[in-house]
Structure 1
Amino acid sequence: MAQSATSRLPDGDPRVTLHGRSPAGHRPTTHRPTDDQLLDGASEVFSQVGFQRATMVALAERAGTTKPTLYAHFEGKEALYQRCVDRAADTLIRFLFAAYASATELSLEDQVRAGMADFFRYVAEHPAHFLLLFGRQATGAAVDARERLIATVRGELARHIRLFTEHRTDGPWGWSADLCASMLIGATVEGCRRSLDAEGADLAEAGEFATRFALAALGHIDPSAAHRLDASVPAR
């Protein structure tokens, strides 16, 4: 009996995880794809199987193009992966900064609500971008891009917390604002990761639940505790 096309696939080919065939609508075509179209397709494959298991053939097929076209746009798999993870990080940074800027004049609670809800909404619309950076397959360049993203967002979120506490409490928070921002980011990221793991989970509802959790925690923080913490951290 002749072997099926699926059985002849090499070990580790991501197409094996896609029910033995390329997804419908992703066959190579004769059109000239843009870099964004190529990166969209590659991001899906990398987010599902990781850098090591992704092949240029599978990456090209998912993007609806050919392997020579990928090499014409990018130097190779490493360069393609770097572009994918950098784009994912930069896009999310711009999205979150816009959300924070639009909520600057609101209460801290509403600022947190806007930031967390928008983060969950972004992940619902772009799961591949999130999984590239925070999924179990993330490695190498993805880890570096993720740390850059977290540091950038933490700094901006801490700035907004300081601005709020400077005008609405008994004095601006110092390092405690950084710690608060880190905890909010950690809760948001883990909430998104767990929600994606739970098949059928509504990310909008998960975002609302996570937001209420964060607001309940913030509502019980005694500002004097923040100031005591700040006093314990050496000036930098």
Structure 2
Amino acid sequence: MPNTRNRPTDEQLLRAARAVIAEVGADRATMDMVAERGGTTRVTLYAHFRSRDSLIDKVIQRELDVFTEWMVAAYDESEDMPHGARARHAVEALFAYARDHPDGFRVLFGHRDATTDPGRRLHEVLVPRIAERLRANYAARGATIGAGAETLASLLLGMSLDVAYRAVVVGGADLDRACELAVTATFAVLRDVSPVQLEALAAHTE
């Protein structure tokens, strides 16, 4: 009977691939790199994942699932908080993910020349959820913002992601200070963007 004790599991190989993609990007990651990182062979990788593209897609999709589930859980946790506290909680959750999952964050955002675009896929999942919360917030103030909610949601999410990207990938800045910058910017946008501006945008786009 063949000895299977030292054969890598899918989980071990996916972690190795995640580390390689985080380091060099999806476009430059090769099966040889992943095999070396995982202490295995290209033959084993192909037996598990069929192709390089299949492996890359699986790693990216898994990290997208982890991040979106993380953020949705944060939105659910803050559902009964006041509006300002909810906004802060969401931004802090994003930075907590970047802190606790640095390789996952780099897989999703660290190499923007990648042929895949996980950032766009992430926006497709999270922006509608954020927009729903924004509509409820503005409705409580007597305003209907319609399609403007998606624009504002995309702006807020993109702003926090960009600050986190520059802290984690570009500059190695202190994440706590970067998080406070993103929180301050979020509050400034929410304070200064008026319902009238969003209503005008909604009227133009609907």
Instruction: Name the TM-score, length of structure 1 as normaliser.
Output: 0.78
User: 1:233: how far off?
Assistant: 2.7
Q: Deviations over 1:110-157 (max 9, x none)?
A: 2221111111110122122222222225522x31x3322111111111
Q: State the match for 1:91 in structure 2.
A: 66
Q: Which runs of 5+ in 2 are unaligned?
A: none
Q: State the match for 1:187 in structure 2.
A: 159
Q: 1:165 aligns with which of 116, 138, 149?
A: 138
Matched, 1:34 2:9: yes
Q: Deviations over 1:82-102 (max 9, x none)?
A: 101111111111111111111
Q: State the match for 1:102 in structure 2.
A: 77
Aligned length: 202
Which has the higher Rg, Structure 1 or Structure 2?
1
User: 1:35: how far off?
Assistant: 2.0
Partner letter of residue 131 of structure 1? R
Name the CA distance, whole Å, in 2 between partners of 1:52 and 1:176. Answer: 35
SS at match of 1:53: coil
Q: Which has the higher helix share?
A: 2
Q: Deviations over 1:187-221 (max 9, x none)?
A: 0111011112113x221221122111211221223
Aligned-residue sequence identity (percent) comes to 32
| 1:185-224 paired onto structure 2 within 5 Å | 185-196=157-168, 197-199=170-172, 201-224=173-196
Q: 2:98 aligns with which of 100, 123, 126?
A: 123
Q: Which runs of 5+ in 1 are unaligned?
A: 1-28
Name the CA distance, whole Å, in 2 between partners of 1:172 and 1:100. Answer: 21
Report if the CA contact (8 A) 1:89-1:149 is conserved.
Answer: yes
| 1:57-72 paired onto structure 2 within 5 Å | 57-72=32-47
Report if the CA contact (8 A) 2:20-2:34 is conserved.
Answer: yes
Q: State the match for 1:17 in structure 2.
A: none
Q: 1:153 aligns with which of 126, 129, 134?
A: 126
Matched, 1:229 2:204: no
Instruction: Name the TM-score, length of structure 2 as normaliser.
Output: 0.88
Name the CA distance, whole Å, in 1 between partners of 2:51 and 2:205. Answer: 46
Higher relative contact order (CA 8 A, sep 6+): 2
